[in-house]
Amino acid sequence: MSTALPSLGFAGIGLMGLPMCRRLLAAGYPLTVWNRSPDKCAALVAAGARLANSPAELCQDSDMVLLCLADTAVVREVVFGEQGIAQGGRSGQLLIDFSSLEPTATREMAAELAVLSGMAWLDAPVSGGTPGAEAGTLAIMVGGEVADLERARPVLQVLGQRVTHMGAVGAGQVTKACNQMIVACNALVIAEVVALAEQSGVDATLIAEALAGGFADSKPLQILAPQMAESRFEPIKWHVRTLLKDLDGAVKFSREQGSATPLSGLAAQLMRLHGSQGYLQKDPATLVELYRNKG
């Protein structure tokens, strides 16, 4: 059965990439992996994946090359740097980028890659965190050609419960920026709420339960409020630095479009303040520490 499936290359074996690759292997896809730190690929190689020595090598036997990387600069290096995907890619191959990047840069890189190698580009950022990656319940927002998405859809459906075509290349990244604006602002106000409840003598561990089903309810509330109230900051499921990077990207893009995003701009500054206090590599549940009375 696996011989009928397209072969996949995957670059970026991190918090999200590892569980995504495990799902692809379990579904029977032939998988080649690459990571800047090869040791992070060991568990996947043991499970049947092949290890590539460079991003260019990922392209040799892959019908589709998937990326899940930290930011725009890293994607640009992996695609266009020495022994990058642009050097190994060819017409007929498809690049699917799950990373959260700047929309303008995505459009520019997609056009450049098409000229250099003939590869098509889908930007397909995801939402749902590591639990969603493990369960295959991610929300995937896609920019690119309809025909390319339909070719990739079976692969995406292994990873996500919802795949939505948002428009041309870059539209997926615009949608992810909107997602991160909502998530980050929500996380910050939840942190304020938990700290206020604590300082008022209210049991903050009951906030999520008390508000469940009401107009203030949300997934972030149900996940973050208990973690914040209990100071349960590990295991780390995502990073403050990731939210800050995405907020900065959203504010930059809004400025390019002439659109006002004052709340997201303030959220970015608060996130930057929190990060500067040693929390960049920590879980966003630690945002409650911004507001707790330490005196």
Residue 87: name the closest of 117, 64, 44, 62 by CA: 117
Per the CB < 8 A criterion, the answer to whether 85 and 54 are in contact is no
- Supply 82's token pair: 């020495």
**Cis amide linkage into residue 235, ω under 30° from 0:** yes
**Between the CA of residue 91 and those of 95, 96, 120, 275, 291, what are the distances in Å?**
11, 14, 8, 42, 53
Rounded to 5 degrees, φ, ψ at 119 are: -70, 140
Element (H, E) at 79: helix 72-80
Task: For residue 252, indicate whether it is catalytic.
Answer: no
Question: Of the listed 40, 176, 237, 245, which one is catalytic?
Answer: 176
Per the CB < 8 A criterion, the answer to whether 197 and 203 are in contact is yes
Beta-strand pair 50-51/126-127: unpaired
**Between the CA of residue 256 and those of 101, 167, 246, 291, 295, what are the distances in Å?**
15, 19, 15, 32, 42
User: Residues with Cβ < 8 Å from 158, sequence gap 6 or more?
Assistant: 23, 24, 27, 29, 136
Beta-strand pair 138-143/126-127: antiparallel
Active site amino acids? 176
